[in-house]
Amino acid sequence: MILFDQVILNDGGGLNHGVFTAPFTGYYLFSTSLVHPPQEESLHAGIMHNGLLIALIHANSGVYDQGTQTVVLKVKAGEQVWIENRDYNNEGVHGNAYSSFSGFLLYQL
């Protein structure tokens, strides 16, 4: 799991260090943008919903590169969404506001 330790807005209190727990059942939009510093391995990450891989993010090795993904999900109250590394133990994600994870409720059911 990729931890996001700087929270800018958390109305409803669903976000905790990069893991979003839905306070309501509904349709949510989630987006992540990850900057990968120059390393030997490429970055492979995924948007996860209760342990199920929903979408992949890729950033190339050897240069600063960025991968972005946006999805709309039907999430039940109490279910979780997060971002995680998928392939290598040494995959790096550049912090300092270069990488982000965000989401919001589109429509409550």
Domains along the chain with CATH numbers? 15-108 (2.60.120.40)
Q: What are the tokens at 102?
A: 């965000």
pLDDT at 49: 98
Please report which helix (H) or strand (E) contains residue 79, including its range: none
Q: How far apart are CA 91 and CA 73, in angstroms?
A: 26
Rounded to 5 degrees, φ, ψ at 31 are -140, 140
Residue 25, burial from CB neighbour count under 10 angstroms (0-12, 13-18, 19+): middle
| CB distance 91 to 36 below 8 Å | yes
Q: What are the tokens at 78?
A: 């109490």
Q: How far apart are CA 2 and CA 35, in angstroms?
A: 12
> What pLDDT, in 10s, does the model give residues 36-74?
888 767 888 999 999 999 999 988 877 888 889 999 999
Q: What are the tokens at 87?
A: 């392939």
The residue among 79 and 43 whose pLDDT is bigger is 79
Looking at residue 41, its amino acid is E
Task: Look over the chain and give the mean of its residue pLDDT values, rounded to a whole number.
Answer: 89
Q: Percent of the chain beyond pLDDT 70?
A: 95
